[in-house]
Amino acid sequence: MRNDGPRILVIDDEPQIHRFLGPALTAAGYEPIRAESGHDALRQAATRNPALILLDLGLPDIDGHALLPRLRAFCAAPVIIVSARGDEAGKVAALDAGAEDYVEKPFALAELLARIRVVLRRAGATEVAANQTPMRIGPLTIDLDRRLARIDEDEPLHLTPREWKLLTTLARSQGRVMTQHQLLNAVWGPAHVEDAQYLRVYIGHLRQKLGRVAGLLRTEPGVGYRFGELDL
């Protein structure tokens, strides 16, 4: 029976993954679309208008790393990599190429569904909603118009311009992994994308100033950082 929920294109050559994920996605209110090769995935993405794509990297005809930019060229659906390849360089490359998130196999279904909800929530937000002020993330409020951040009713945090830029960049992307390359480019500019030490120092400063809510800023070892994943 056809599901009228958001369509999720599952690109994986393992039949057992489709047998497992298909019913689970349907039960969660989504309409799964099955693709077992890169060429089939390109056709499905072009004709079925998926809301989100789950992409395995180990496909028989087109490597997932090569397929990702081809999908991004014409399909706006966010992509979550779901792969047994756990190397940090591969994760960074996929995220820098436009993937929203990366989940390693084997995975817990509850975690994958939670990540799907986070990514769809971000993708479904309008430009106005994404930029509305103030933003509230748990006890942290970020007022973009007034350029201030505070925890509950405490005094505003004393942030340098660079710390403010780092905080707001992460907050606007909450729920998504941002690689070191992406953050350095956004906060310091393209001339500093290799200066990872800058980022480590400022992340440390920002965590100190966030104090009791520093746990909102999470490290993905060897990859980058997430901000505000309160429901994962």
Predicted structure pTM score: 0.64
The architecture CATH gives domain 7-128:
3-Layer(aba) Sandwich (3.40)
Tokens of 20: 């497992």
Low-confidence stretches of the chain (pLDDT < 50) are: 1, 125-131, 230-232
Q: Do domains 7-128 and 135-227 have the same CATH topology?
A: no
CATH T-level assignment (fold) for domain 135-227: Arc Repressor Mutant, subunit A (1.10.10)
Residue 160 pLDDT: 85
Residue 133 pLDDT: 60
Residue 132 pLDDT: 54
Residue 232 pLDDT: 41
Nearest to 38 by CA among 76, 12, 3, 20: 12
Give domain limits for the chain.
Answer: 7-128, 135-227
Model confidence pLDDT, tens digit, residues 31-55: 999 999 999 999 999 888 899 999 9
Residue 20 pLDDT: 93
198 burial via Cβ count (<10 Å: 0-12, 13-18, 19+): middle
